């Protein structure tokens, strides 16, 4: 695969939306239940300001995945912790796109001065857990049965990566 990872632009939002809506409808990777509109995703994109970011991976001019760093919690004391999300196009899974995106998000988190990086992984998503473990994330906790999707209760496993100071 010859994918490149780059900062997302507003022009990327429709493809980001397509990938995200597929995840909403067919996976537990997100607890959103209804597909989002383009206006909702454009608002989300415009609200993502540095040191947070949205990135995309493209291969042959086609978007194959996207990722983002967002605030972990709104209170000021959490400002040195970010939460990462990675979504890969359904036809591109298993090709290393997620690893490319997560590696870039970790670098951007370091550059952004973050101390801690969090990932909320829904139970039953071993691919995401394995990806995060590969990059040094460890389980930091579990929220039991906090989501209800596809007629079942779901846990969220919190995975955390401590970032080295001054990098």
pLDDT tens-place string over residues 66-75 = 999 999 999 9
Domain residues for 157? 4-162
Domain-embedded: residue 167? no
Domain-embedded: residue 22? yes
Domain-embedded: residue 114? yes
The distance from CA 21 to its chain's CA centroid, rounded to whole angstroms, is 14
Phi, psi of 25 (to 5 degrees): -80, -25
Q: What total number of domains does the chain contain?
A: 1
Question: For the segment 139-160, what is each residue's pLDDT rounded down to a tens digit?
Answer: 999 999 999 999 999 999 999 9
Query: Is 29 in contact with 125 (CB distance < 8 Å)?
Result: yes
CATH number at residue 88: 3.40.630.30
Alpha helices in the chain (DSSP H): 13-26, 38-47, 97-111, 126-134
Question: For the segment 2-38, what is each residue's pLDDT rounded down to a tens digit?
Answer: 899 999 999 999 999 999 999 999 999 999 999 999 9
- For the whole model, what pTM was predicted? 0.95
**pLDDT for 120 beyond 60:** yes
């Amino acid at each position: 695969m010859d994918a490149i990872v780059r900062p997302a632009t507003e022009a990327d939002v429709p493809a980001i939306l397509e990938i995200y809506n597929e995840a909403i409808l067919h996976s537990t990777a997100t607890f959103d239940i209804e597909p989002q509109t383009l206006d909702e995703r454009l608002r989300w994109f415009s609200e993502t300001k540095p040191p947070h970011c949205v990135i995309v991976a493209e291969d042959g001019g086609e978007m194959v995945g996207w990722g983002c760093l967002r605030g972990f919690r709104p209170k000021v004391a959490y400002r040195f912790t970010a939460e990462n999300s990675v979504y890969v196009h359904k036809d591109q899974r298993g090709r290393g796109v997620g690893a490319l995106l997560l590696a870039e998000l970790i670098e951007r988190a370091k550059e952004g001065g973050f101390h801690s990086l969090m990932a909320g992984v829904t139970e039953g998503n071993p691919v995401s857990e394995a990806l995060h473990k590969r990059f040094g994330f460890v389980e930091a906790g579990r929220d039991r049965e906090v989501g209800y999707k596809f007629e079942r209760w779901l846990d969220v496993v919190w995975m955390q990566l401590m970032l080295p100071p001054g990098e």
